[in-house]
Amino acid sequence: MPIAVGQVLASIESLMIGGLYRKDGLLRGVSAIGVPPGSPRYRLLNALDSARTPRVLATITLVASGVLLASRGNRRLQIAASAVIGGVNRLSELRTPYGRDGADQMTGIITQYRIVSALVPDRARSDELFLRALNAQAGLSYFVSGVSKLFGSSWVQGDAIGEILQTEAYGNGPAASLLRRFPRLVRLLTWATPLWEVSFPLIYLLPSRWARAMLLGVKAFHLGIAGVMELPRFVWGFVGSHGAVQYVVDQRSQARRSAGSLERVTLASAAVIASVSAGYAASQRQFDIERRGGLKGTKLLDVDDGVVEYDLRAPSDPSVTAESAPVVVLEAGLGSPLEAFSWVAELLAVDHHVLSYHRGGYGRTTSNRSPGDLVAALLAHVVSSGTLISVSHSIGTLAAASYLRRDFGGRFISSAVVIDGTNPRLLADDRVDRRRRGMFLQSQAGSMYIALTGIYNFVPHAIARQSAFAPDDQLGVVQFSFSPRNILRATREYFNMPLVDAMQSLLAVPRRRVIASKEYEQQESEFAEALHAPIVVVEGASHRSILGYRQYAQQVAQIVRETSGDDS
């Protein structure tokens, strides 16, 4: 019943915010991006992305929720309604990953468990399986949520809830205004939240009546969140799992022999699955390393203290004089492989030499020499007297800045194209701000957990959603990004990348251009102003997809080509 109420509220909310689903709205459909136009899949996804579709889906959910509310005691109707709600939620998530919260995720999990458990012929066994699986999910959700908060600096410092109450989205209600008057209480609530979430599994050690009291306290917490942040449907998604928790506690309290057997099997199965997942991830990363060493892979160049991994493409157009063609040097972002530039490199290599490489510690590069030293060693093997152009993404801009004023055998870099570049001033501020530093470290810790467990091979993640490279390159980008070694290297690079004179080096380049994703438009506009450089905003692009989707990479390549034309 709580799930049905939550879905009724969610449906009504969706029907009332139709403007956000338009092509220029925050919740516009993005599922068709990167799909070849004209294909059957594109037509289906384009229809899903329509501004009318969310209203249709919300209406279907509203009807199914009404059926679920009216079907008390009718198991078949409950399962059918759950299947409809689960399917609609999956379509909504496919349409856009934004606009969803933890309550939506819990609702999706509950409906999926109900559908899967319905496949068990024995009704009693099916219902027990559903309740025990839902109980395990609830306990895990609270515990993991608490652990993740303990890694967040704003929660540890007692600032998180106060910051949330300062936002326009969640801090405008009367309850939020009242709570802001008591900063000490807000701080105590911030500290208490992760503590009780981490302690939630202790409920299984309590007598039944005390467990019921604890669940009432958790319900009060969710009601408080719903009231303060004005999220009326927030409470229903989580409260919908409490009945399953109470069922398992009651079973244990009654000392039934069957109690806990499924949990033990579940834990053992989870351990086996986790081990297999971790092993599979390690094998995939090893496969990618072997692929890089193959005929179609990357190359290695010996330098004084090791090797540097690189890729060099010569102009493919026979009408271009290779000996005088411009040379483009690509610098990838934090923790990103050289394949992140594969679309741009392919498009530019028609009439340019294109050089990409891995900085020290990334990929197969074992040398610890500076980016400038590595680029100098690589440029010595490029047979061209053409102009030198730097193209950098994200923190790669700061790596490029370290050698922009360097003499490369009598030549200097004449143009710098910055793509969503990292402003050295902002990075310097982030490094000394304990909250931002903590957020970065928390993000890296999360990435390391996902990498070690191999979860990224089986669940959607931002890297996969925001890139659509050719199969080998896509594999390389994903496996490289989730390599534990590269994650550690990226963490060190974030704190150790030189910032002194970076802005002066960028300003010393005769021609400068900034390309910004729509996601980083404001930040890059300020950076472009500081660089006295023109800026081009790639509409619809995110920080990753500006390189990861071919249609956006084409715009980037065209701007680079125009820049090289200015040099000639």
Cβ neighbours, 10 Å, residue 361:
16
Which pLDDT does position 3 carry in this prediction? Answer: 64
Measured CA to CA, the distance from residue 360 to residue 418 in angstroms comes to: 21
Q: Which bin fits 431, alpha (ψ -120 to 50), beta or left (φ > 0)?
A: alpha
In this structure, what token pair is assigned to residue 503?
């802005």
In this structure, what token pair is assigned to residue 439?
């957020």
CB 60 within 8 A of CB 7: no
Q: Which of 284, 300, 354, 305 lies closest to 326, judged by CA? A: 354
Measured CA to CA, the distance from residue 396 to residue 413 in angstroms comes to: 15
Q: What's phi and psi for 262, nearest 5 deg?
A: -65, -40
Domain ranges of the chain: 1-100, 295-567
Measured CA to CA, the distance from residue 311 to residue 378 in angstroms comes to: 10
Measured CA to CA, the distance from residue 499 to residue 398 in angstroms comes to: 7
CB 421 within 8 A of CB 445: no
3-state secondary structure of 542: coil
Positive or negative CA dihedral for 276, 277, 282, 285?
Answer: positive
In this structure, what token pair is assigned to residue 407?
């003499």
pTM of this structure? 0.67
* Residue-level pLDDT, tens digit, the chain, 568 residues: 566 666 777 777 777 777 777 877 777 888 887 777 878 888 888 888 888 888 888 888 888 878 877 777 677 777 788 788 888 888 887 888 776 666 667 777 777 777 777 777 787 888 888 888 888 888 888 888 888 787 666 787 788 888 888 776 666 778 888 888 888 998 898 899 999 999 998 888 888 889 999 999 988 888 888 788 776 666 766 777 888 888 888 887 665 444 455 556 666 776 788 899 999 999 999 999 999 988 889 999 999 899 999 999 999 999 999 999 999 999 999 999 999 999 999 999 999 999 999 999 999 999 999 999 999 999 999 999 999 999 999 999 999 999 999 999 999 999 999 999 999 999 999 999 877 887 788 788 888 988 999 989 988 788 988 999 999 999 999 999 999 999 999 999 999 999 999 999 999 999 999 999 999 999 999 999 999 999 999 999 999 999 999 999 999 999 999 987 655 5
Measured CA to CA, the distance from residue 371 to residue 408 in angstroms comes to: 13
Measured CA to CA, the distance from residue 352 to residue 344 in angstroms comes to: 11
In this structure, what token pair is assigned to residue 376?
């100098």
Q: Which of 516, 543, 533, 499 lies closest to 401, judged by CA? A: 499
Measured CA to CA, the distance from residue 416 to residue 512 in angstroms comes to: 5
Which pLDDT does position 259 carry in this prediction? Answer: 44
In angstroms, the Cα distances linking 350 to 321, 330, 347, 547 are: 11, 16, 6, 18
Please state the CATH superfamily assignment of the domain spanning residues 295-567 in this structure: Alpha/Beta hydrolase fold, catalytic domain (3.40.50.1820)
Pairing between β-strand 413-419 and β-strand 511-517 as defined by DSSP bridges:
parallel
Measured CA to CA, the distance from residue 163 to residue 476 in angstroms comes to: 38
The interaxial angle of helices 75-95 and 2-16, nearest 10 deg, is 40
Which pLDDT does position 491 carry in this prediction? Answer: 96
Measured CA to CA, the distance from residue 35 to residue 362 in angstroms comes to: 31
